[in-house]
Amino acid sequence: MEPLYMELPAVEYVRRRRCDSAASVPQFCNSPTIIVMVGLPARGKTYISKKLTRYLNWIGVPTKVFNLGQYRREAVQSYKNFEFFKPDNEEAMMIRIACASAALKDVATYFTKEQGQVAVFDATNTTRERRGSILRFAKERGFKVFFVESVCDDPDIIAENIKAVKISSPDYVDRDTEDALEDFLQRIECYKMTYVPIDDQKDRNLSYIKIFNVGSRYLVNRVQDHIQSRIVYYLMNIHVTPRSIYLSRHGESELNLVGRIGGDTGLSARGAEYAAALAKFIKGQKIKDLKVWTSHMKRTIQTAEALGVQYEQWKALNEIDAGVCEELTYEEIQEKHPEEFALRDQDKYRYRYPKGESYEDMVHRLEPVIMELERQENVLVICHQAVMRCLLAYFTDKTADELPYLRCPLHTVLKLTPVAYGCKVEGVCLNIEAVDTHRERPSVVDINRNPEEALQTVPDHT
């Protein structure tokens, strides 16, 4: 097969563009990575694939999942039963091989045409032959391969996974639950006939992580580079224990009242009211072993104090540093720094305030917070608007373009509950009046725009 050569994008230099934040990860465009999932059905491979992809995209590594089940469903319009997966079903095996080839072809296109850096090949990949063909495919094209094998022999975990996601899959639409369960168990038996796990001796030259029983034990072998190291670290921190994460901004601050950004003032009278209301709300939730985190800033600490419980302060949770624009109103920024104001509107995620930070910088400094949130169970994070946007974007899989415009109003609690392949978000307004600090994306972002156009979406603070 002819090798595909990488098309490296031309470097474009833009005059005075303050979007040159130090990247939190090196660029891997000349040596992309295929993450190859391995394991029997109902071992959490798709859960790991989606979660890992969400994390890598959040930290700035373009990543995409290629789920072989979707390719199979497109090739075979209607699923009959488990016999499709029998190793001796030659006709079905030809279809499955063709689907794998189509998916790998799409992986190559993603790397060469779409500047992707990581592809997650989400399939069982339970035979040495299949894994060998993927390795050959990658070697011919200069792609790296990292295997993630999920091994699970705990019947309770397997049963829970089947119940949570498998019997509600497109394969079992309009099928009786018991019938679907029986068929899926038979499907697993079909895979068991030919399943050959990654072998510690025979495969000692491969790069891989084995995850046993959803994280009770790990085996890591030959990590090749920085990105694989990040992947391993992340996978060793996630868990599936049911929990909720509560996100709240501090109560309204004195600077919020006058429309000034940043600073380190205390709460307004209404902000103090919210702190008391938050304490009452949290107490009413009866949350087991709740941990409370704040930033180092007065307004989050004063909000937490009303709870009457211990809390942990994180400097990483401090609000975005607006540099020369700290404690200015949007009107003053437009008056004193009109070009900067326009540049930020052109690319709010990557724009860095002079002597300050960008949203991209914040994602980098919030990564340890995300890792610790993944390790923990129930946590209340009392933070700031930009910080809350970054955290919310991670849990809800929002793009870098969407992130800076996520609505995170004052005096509202967001309850995030991880579900099978995503996150359920519930907003609870505690009915304490507060100013609106949300500025919508403006329609005119040209440097030569007039002040009225620049200030069109500034929230009222008079």
Which amino acids are annotated catalytic? Answer: 122, 152, 250, 319
| Closest by CA position to 363, among listed 397, 326, 400, 396 | 400
Measuring CA to CA, which residue among 185, 159, 174 is closest to residue 78?
Answer: 174
Distances (CA, A) of 431 to 17, 112, 412, 428: 41, 51, 8, 9
Q: What residue type is 230 in one-letter code?
A: R
Cα 331 from chain centre:
34
| Cβ atoms 295, 280 nearer than 8 A | no
Give the Cα separation of 124 and 105 in Å (integer). Answer: 18
DSSP letter assigned to residue 402: T
Q: Would you call 412 helix, strand, or coil by DSSP?
A: strand
**Rounded Cα–Cα distance for residues 393 and 61 (Å):** 15
| Identity at 90, one-letter amino acid code | E
Closest CA to 85 of 66, 68, 101: 68
Least Cα distance to 300 among 321, 290, 320, 314 occurs for 314
